[in-house]
Amino acid sequence: MSDSAKVIPCDDPTSRPTRMFKWSSKRCEKGNYQPSSTYTLAVIPDRLVSILTCLLINPYPPSVGREYVSTPLTEITTEQLHYNFNIAFEANFFAYRATIPYLLAQKHNTSTWTLCTGAQGETAFFPVPGMTQGALFTMGTAAARENEKTNVRFNEGYLCFRVEVDEQAENHGVTSASEFAKVYKNLLGDEEVVGARVTVREVGDIGRLVWQWKF
C-alpha cells in the first residue's frame, strides 16, 4: 500500500487567466476502493471553482461526506477510517493549503472560499461521515479566523439534508447538486456574509441565506 499527495500545475483550455492544480492520492487496491482519487481545482483571479472526482466501486450513492453508513464505531476498520478522512477531510485541507496562498498573493478583494460541511458532524447518526465533518468544523473556524482581515471571504456552508449529483438525485428523490448550487450563487452575491456559517437546514433554505458568525 502506498499513499502520496502532490499538487501539480495542469493546463487549462480556457482563455481566461486561470491556474489549475491537481491533487492525487494513491491508495491500495483492496476491497471496494478504487486505487486512486483526484481533486482538481480551477483558480480564476477572483473566483475559485473546485471539482471533486472520486471513483468508488461500492453500493452507496455519491455523497460529499463519503460513505453514508451506520457502521458502529467498534466495527469501523482502520482502512475505512483512513479512506473516509482522506476523501472528506484531507482533500479539503490539501486543496485549501495549496490554493489560499495563491488567492492571497493575487490580492483580489472579491476572492471567496466556501467550505461545505454536513450535519452528521453534530448528529452522528452515521459515525463514519460524521467524524470527518467534525474535523471540517474545526478547520472551517480556523480558516475563518485566519482570513478575517484578508482579501479572501471565507464561509462555511452547513448542509442538513441529502444532496447528490443530478443523475443520482433524480433516481433517489433527493435534492440535486444543480439545485443546491443556488446557495453558492446567493452567497457570492452577498459580500456582507464573511467568516460565517450558512445553514441550509431544509430545502426551503436554498433560496435564502440563513447565517451566523463562526466566532
* Domain carrying residue 148: 7-213
Q: Pick from 89, 30, 90, 26: which is nearest to 57 by CA?
A: 30
Residue 63 lies in a domain: yes
Residue 183 near residue 196, CB atoms below 8 Å: no
Give the chain's mean pLDDT.
78
Residue 18 has pLDDT above 60, yes or no: no
pLDDT, one tens digit per residue, over 28-85 is 233 333 333 333 343 444 444 333 333 333 334 444 556 888 999 999 999 999 999 9
Q: Pick from 37, 42, 156, 158: which is nearest to 98 by CA?
A: 42
Instruction: Express as a percent the part of the chain with pLDDT over 90.
Output: 65
Residue 1 lies in a domain: no
E-strand stretches of 27-62: 33-44, 47-56
102 pLDDT tier (thresholds 50, 70, 90): very high
N-term to C-term CA, the chain: 40
Residue 4 has pLDDT above 70, yes or no: no
Q: Whole-angstrom Cα distance, residue 204 to residue 202?
A: 5
Residue 202 lies in a domain: yes
Residue 148 lies in a domain: yes
Residue 25 has pLDDT above 80, yes or no: no
**What's the confidence (pLDDT) of residue 189?**
95
The CATH number of whichever domain residue 46 belongs to comes to: 3.40.50.720
Other Cβ atoms closer than 10 A to 53: 8
Residue 146 near residue 140, CB atoms below 8 Å: no
**What's the confidence (pLDDT) of residue 68?**
80
In the chain, the number of structural domains is 1
**What's the confidence (pLDDT) of residue 66?**
61
Residue 2 lies in a domain: no
Q: Whole-angstrom Cα distance, residue 17 to residue 178?
A: 26
Residues 6+ apart with CB under 8 A from 101: none
Residues 6+ apart with CB under 8 A from 96: 113, 115, 139, 143
Residue 28 lies in a domain: yes
Lowest mean pLDDT among 36-40, 68-72, 100-104, 159-163: 36-40
pLDDT, one tens digit per residue, over 135-145 is 999 999 999 99
Residue 18 lies in a domain: yes
